[in-house]
Amino acid sequence: MTLILYFALFIVVSIGLGWGFRALLTAVTSGEVKRAFRDMPISASFGLLVILIYVLVAFLAPVLAPFPEREVVGARYMPWGAPHYLGTDSLGRDMLSRMIYGARNTVGIAFATTALAFIVGSILGLWAATVGGWMDQGLSRFVDALMAIPALIFSLLLLTIFGTSVLTLIIIIAMVDATRVFRLARSVAQGVVVMDYIEAARLRGETMWRLITREILPNAMAPLVAEFGLRFCFVFLAISALSFLGLGIKPPTADWGSMVRESATLITFGDVTPLLPAGAIALLTVAVNFVVDWQLHRASGLKE
């Protein structure tokens, strides 16, 4: 019963925060942006607020964290209370500080990985659809072969072979995820390249790069932007899962996935500390999905 009450309170507070943030955005903007924010659902405004808070925490981590990220500042598994408001971990490091730094590390690495996956996947997908022929078929069959392997298993295999540094983690996850972006970009571009204005651009003698960037990409941007948000969630969860398994971001760097693994034994003693990084992962994932749903609805042209 207590959990139900807490959940109901969380829903009420979320609705209030979402409504207030939407009103603030509407008040400080004008024109088309003001209309977009005014018509934004409460769920999307709450999602934007959560994303903004995460970004601010990530950038201001050295200012907000009461202790250094890696410094042992107390005894092992100290209870909640001043000055360690979320207690300490198995080595005596401050959990609140590591949660704050975890926002910078986990979210920052996930964003960099998603951006790299989108750059590679979008360019190859748009190029394959524009060129067509044997090049398109060759790339598509190669991507199909890679997608036939479960992404997590494939990532685990590559990380075991090449090591688990941050750079290696970003490159491997990005390359695995770029196959999904390739399929979407190619599918969207195939519906654009048959248009008359693309043929007119070809007859004008436009170069391939200009054709892709000036004619095809602007008309494929809406689904790609929405997919970026969804793909970020998948990458974010994949990195957290790999860290939980011990093949992601390596200690002593603070990371929410590894923090769940390190403090998981506390659950058996009724301590909810391991649920905090797990909850931070879940909250950001839900928030991004709220915003993506709003953007997909806007791009579809549907009205309530």
Tell me which residue range forms the domain holding 278. Answer: 99-300
Q: What is the CATH number of the domain that holds 134?
A: 1.10.3720.10
Total tally of structural domains belonging to the chain: 1
pLDDT for 300 equals 61
pTM greater than the 0.95 cutoff: no
Q: Say how many CA atoms lie within 13 Å of 120 toward its Cβ.
A: 19
Token reading at 42:
């409460």
pLDDT for 254 equals 82
Task: Answer whether residue 157 is part of any domain.
Answer: yes
Task: Answer whether residue 265 is part of any domain.
Answer: yes
Task: Answer whether residue 18 is part of any domain.
Answer: no
Average confidence (pLDDT) per 10 residues, the chain, 304 residues: 74 87 86 82 90 90 87 83 82 88 86 90 88 84 86 84 84 89 87 79 78 80 81 85 80 82 78 84 88 77 46
pLDDT for 139 equals 87
Task: Answer whether residue 220 is part of any domain.
Answer: yes
Element counts in the chain: helices (H) and strands (E)? 14, 0
pLDDT for 260 equals 83
Task: Answer whether residue 73 is part of any domain.
Answer: no
Show Cβ contacts of residue 203 under 8 Å, excluding neighbours closer than 6 positions: none
pLDDT for 1 equals 52
Task: Answer whether residue 170 is part of any domain.
Answer: yes
Task: Answer whether residue 195 is part of any domain.
Answer: yes
- The amino acid at residue 20 is G
Task: Answer whether residue 42 is part of any domain.
Answer: no
- For the chain, how big is the Rg over CA atoms in Å? 22
